[in-house]
């Protein structure tokens, strides 16, 4: 199906589940190895991966949490990196089913290939859970918008969607400036215009044991270099975010397993359309692992 109006999501596809590691049957998701020996993890902690899926540009791909679970994080890994553009990586609740959504496109081609990721936990593990959404609005290139958690709650995850025929996500991450642990902030840009549509989501909950936000230093690397931010010893990534500086745009942002003892880190890649290198940083929102 051809997407004729890229500002709207006219097509939706469900990502088939695959295992994060060997040993699981396709169509099922494997529990993170760390969970087997780590009772301190939020109950039902589970990382799902879907794909790869090759779809028309601007198609929304969805990955749903199992019944009784809520979404706390997620991401995407575009497999067409040279001209791959990440437009959206964000949570939603459709008919009581919590899911992660991915929207991407491939420059100069009609289709794009991507993986999708979702991090889920039992609903009872996050008292006060809610998704706060700031609906899409047109903003200037590079401008940021924020979704704010209610008083007494912290941000445990979040997402954003840039909208427009030439749109791209610039960053989608936990708080800036530091110390504002109740915000999710995002920015987008149009690669061929001066404004971009931008919606932002914050996933909020009451404070949880071991809650901590860590961020890598802003560093310049060759385009599409995968960077990761691990949590401190004894903690694992519940969710995370990333961003490009100047005119850099996101091409991937996802949970990445370190090993069974260390749990997950958050990883991302960016590219600068007019340069060979780009400046980026990665953020991980952490919870107790052991």
Residue 212: inside a domain:
yes
Residue 6: inside a domain:
no
Residue 7: inside a domain:
no
pLDDT digits (tens, 9 = 90+) for 29-56: 433 433 333 346 788 999 999 999 999 9
Q: How far apart are CA 236 and CA 262, in angstroms?
A: 7
Other CB atoms within 10 Å distance of the CB of residue 194 = 9
Instruction: Give me 186's structure tokens.
Output: 């995002």
Phi and psi at 287, nearest 5°, equal -140, 165
For residue 45, what pLDDT is reported?
92
Question: What's 161's domain CATH number?
Answer: 2.60.120.690
Q: How far is CA 221 from CA 99, 124, 165, 229, 256, in A?
A: 32, 41, 28, 15, 19
Q: How far apart are CA 88 and CA 167, in angstroms?
A: 10
Residue 152: inside a domain:
yes
For residue 231, what pLDDT is reported?
94
Contact 160, 200 (CB under 8 A): yes
Q: Tell me which residue range forms the domain holding 191.
A: 12-288
The alpha carbons of the chain give a radius of gyration, in whole angstroms, of: 17
The segments of the chain whose pLDDT lies below 50 read 1-10, 17-39
Contact 17, 116 (CB under 8 A): no
Residue 84: inside a domain:
yes
Contact 3, 56 (CB under 8 A): yes
For residue 176, what pLDDT is reported?
64
Q: How far apart are CA 25 and CA 209, in angstroms?
A: 32
Residue 1: inside a domain:
no
For residue 24, what pLDDT is reported?
25
Residue 168: inside a domain:
yes
Contact 17, 63 (CB under 8 A): yes
Alpha-carbon dihedral sign for residues 147, 151, 47, 68: negative
Residues sharing a CB contact under 8 Å with residue 22, sequence separation 6 or more, in sequence order: none
Instruction: Give me 36's structure tokens.
Output: 């087997």
Residue 49: inside a domain:
yes
- Cα 135 to its chain centre, rounded Å, is 17
What domain count does the chain have?
A: 1
Q: How far apart are CA 203 and CA 183, in angstroms?
A: 9
């Amino acid at each position: 199906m051809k997407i004729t109006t890229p500002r709207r999501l006219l097509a939706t596809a469900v990502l088939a589940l695959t295992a994060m590691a060997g040993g699981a049957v396709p169509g099922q998701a494997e529990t993170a190895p760390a969970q087997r020996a780590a009772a301190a993890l939020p109950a039902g902690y589970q990382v799902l991966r879907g794909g790869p899926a090759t779809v028309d540009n601007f198609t929304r791909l969805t990955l749903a949490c199992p019944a009784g679970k809520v979404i706390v994080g997620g991401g995407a890994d575009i497999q067409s990196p040279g001209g791959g553009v990440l437009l959206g990586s964000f949570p939603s609740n459709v008919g009581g089913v919590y899911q992660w959504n991915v929207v991407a496109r491939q420059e100069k081609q009609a289709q794009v290939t991507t993986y999708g990721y979702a991090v889920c936990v039992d609903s009872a593990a996050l008292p006060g859970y809610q998704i706060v959404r700031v609906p899409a609005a047109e903003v200037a290139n590079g401008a940021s918008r924020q979704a704010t958690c209610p008083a007494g709650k912290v941000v445990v995850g979040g997402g954003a969607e840039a909208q427009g025929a030439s749109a791209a996500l610039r960053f989608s991450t936990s708080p800036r400036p530091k110390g504002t642990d109740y915000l999710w902030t995002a920015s987008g840009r149009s690669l061929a215009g001066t404004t971009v549509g931008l919606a932002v989501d914050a996933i909020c909950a009451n404070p949880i044991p071991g809650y901590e936000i860590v961020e890598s230093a802003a560093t310049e690397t060759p385009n599409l270099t995968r960077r990761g931010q691990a949590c401190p010893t004894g903690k694992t990534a519940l969710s995370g975010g990333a961003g490009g500086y100047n005119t850099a745009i996101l091409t991937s942002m996802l949970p990445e397993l370190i090993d069974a003892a260390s749990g997950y880190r958050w990883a991302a890649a960016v590219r600068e359309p007019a340069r060979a290198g780009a400046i980026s940083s990665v953020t991980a929102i952490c919870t107790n692992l052991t």
